[in-house]
A and B are shown apart, each in its own frame.
Chain A
Amino acid sequence: MSLAAMFRMEVRRLRVQPLAWVLLALSLAWLGWCFTRLLGDFLAGEIKRAALPDSPGYVDLVAVPLLGQLAQLAFLVVPLLAMSTLAGERRNGTLPLLFAAGLPASRIVLGKYFALLLWLLLWLALTLAMPLSLAHATTPDWGKLAAATLGMALMLAALAALTVAASAFTTHPAIAAVLGLLIGLALWTVNLGAQMAGLNDGAINWLAMSTHEQNLLRGLVSTADILWFVLLIAVCLALATRRLAADKERG
């Protein structure tokens, strides 16, 4: 029950935050422009592709690249949106109010995380609405689109969990945002050197978020990739919970 109360309060707070709406509006405007550009390129090359067997389709050339653009924006948008989740509570002095309501740290973290996730899934849904609005005029590869959507949802959830954890360790939301951005980028590019050296296997590639995300964006759904995201989310939320519980102990 208290988890639902926490979730509801956080949704309400996100709903009235100008930053959340500004980020949504700006990012969707950018994605809308990207969509029209991708669609224009897709239509321009339609005759050439008709002559080729197994040529890439609407999902490969429009929907997935659009989700790729969303992934790039997510590195900036998610930390900005999630930076205040716990750091803001600490700065306002409202964290003790939540402890005093008998809420365990885990419910505070989960309530806030799920509210954030709801906003991010809305962002993903609005982005997907663009390619889906023309789906009736083409024959999309639904399986590939579903895999890419799953990949994006997992990536957004992982970046949100990362920033929530960063937010649990500081009083300043800006520091939480920078930490979220840096750790997110580090996780994405950790295997860059290995790839440049031609290594496409090994622990360093497994560690990189890009390895798992790109598989899903290509339409390859594997339990290992999903588990990687789930593991990252679980570790981040556990760290945030632990830090918050320590706050109550330390005062």
Chain B
Amino acid sequence: MTAAQAAALPVLQLEQVARRRAGRVAVQDLGLALAPGQVLGLLGVNGAGKSTTLAMIAGALRPDSGAIRLNGEDFLEQPELARRLIGWLPERAPVWPELTVTEHLDAHGRLRGLRGAELRAAREAIVARLELQPLARRLAGALSQGQRQRLGLACALLHRPALLVLDEPANALDPVQVGALRKLIREQAKAGTAVILSTHVLVEVTAVCDRVAILHEGRLRYEGPVRGDDHAALERRFFEIAMQARAA
């Protein structure tokens, strides 16, 4: 593969991805593509399949069928690609309660292949960027949900992934932190990181996303660009899809 071909490839490509969970269809025939520097918002009501989709993209869950490609390579055949390429913040940001914030970041860094000076530099940079210094020696189990969310975000960003997968990243954050999160996501996109985030909050999508995908009952119902000033149009479309599906 030439450098030009590699540059033209989407970071993430989903082809006809399907997954059943607890005996019902969670995701069906899902196709998506995401280029470097793009921010895609994944919208949907509860149970639409957003978290399942993100867990499959992050490598935490195997699809039943379909293909997921990272930089053109089959991710399902090479799950180790996730190690350096993907940063994932799952819903509710789970933590190892016995580890301090610093130890958490070190453990995540090592699991993602960072070592020695590289790990220290990455940790210090992300601690400074997310203002985690006052929490550095605090046990993760003693953090508030908002602080856990910030720690989870730091872990996802630590190894400078090419694809950032954020599941409800604004959960439990105060309005100031939500503003800082939006700024951070835009910064990451500007630096070339592709970002996919799921949310219930429509304004979140219009504030930070370039594109939006609406999932309903596991199917992709709409995908298109987002114009920051067109919140009302997005809201109309979202409710149309939710109501149509309910009526059907």
Across-interface contacts of A134 in B (CB, < 8 A): none
- CB contacts (< 8 Å) of A99 on chain B: these are 59-61
- What 8 additional pairs, Cβ within 8 angstroms, besides A9-B110, A93-B90, A96-B94? A9-B107, A93-B94, A97-B94, A101-B108, A102-B83, A104-B79, A248-B60, A248-B62
Task: Flag if A96 contacts B61 (CB, 8 Å).
Answer: yes
Interface string of B113-138 (1 = CB under 8 A from A): 10000000000000000000000000
Q: Which of B21, B55, B95, B107 contacts A12 (CB 8 A)?
A: B107
Nearest residue, chain A, Cβ from B21: A251
Residue of B nearest to A97 (CB): B94
Report the bound CA distance from A251 to B86 in whole Å: 19
- A172 on interface, CB distance cutoff 8 Å: no
Q: Which residues of A contact B110 (CB under 8 A)?
A: 4-5, 8-9
Establish whether residues B59 and A251, one from each chain, have CB atoms under 8 Å apart when the complex forms. Answer: no
Is A6 part of the binding interface, using a Cβ–Cβ cutoff of 8 Å?
Answer: yes
Report the nearest A residue to B159, measured CB to CB: A101
B92/A93 in contact, CB under 8 A? yes
B57-73: CB near A (< 8 Å → 1, else 0) gives: 01111100000000000
Do residues B111 and A103 form an inter-chain contact, with CB atoms below 8 A?
Answer: yes
A-side residues, CB < 8 A to B, are 1-2, 4-6, 8-9, 12-13, 16-17, 92-94, 96-104, 248-249, 251
- The number of chain B residues with a CB under 8 A from chain A is 31
Q: Is the CB of A101 within 8 A of B95?
A: no
CB contacts (< 8 Å) of B82 on chain A: these are: 100-102
Q: Which of A13, A97, A251 is most buried by chain B, counting CB atoms within 10 A of its CB?
A: A97
Given A12-B107, A13-B96, A251 and B83 contact (CB-CB distance below 8 Å): no
Give the distance in Å from the alpha carbon of A99 to the alpha carbon of B61 in the complex.
Answer: 8
Q: Which of B79, B94, B107, B112 contacts A92 (CB 8 A)?
A: B94
Contacts of A104 in B (CB 8 A): 79
- B-side contacts of A248, CB under 8 Å: 60-62
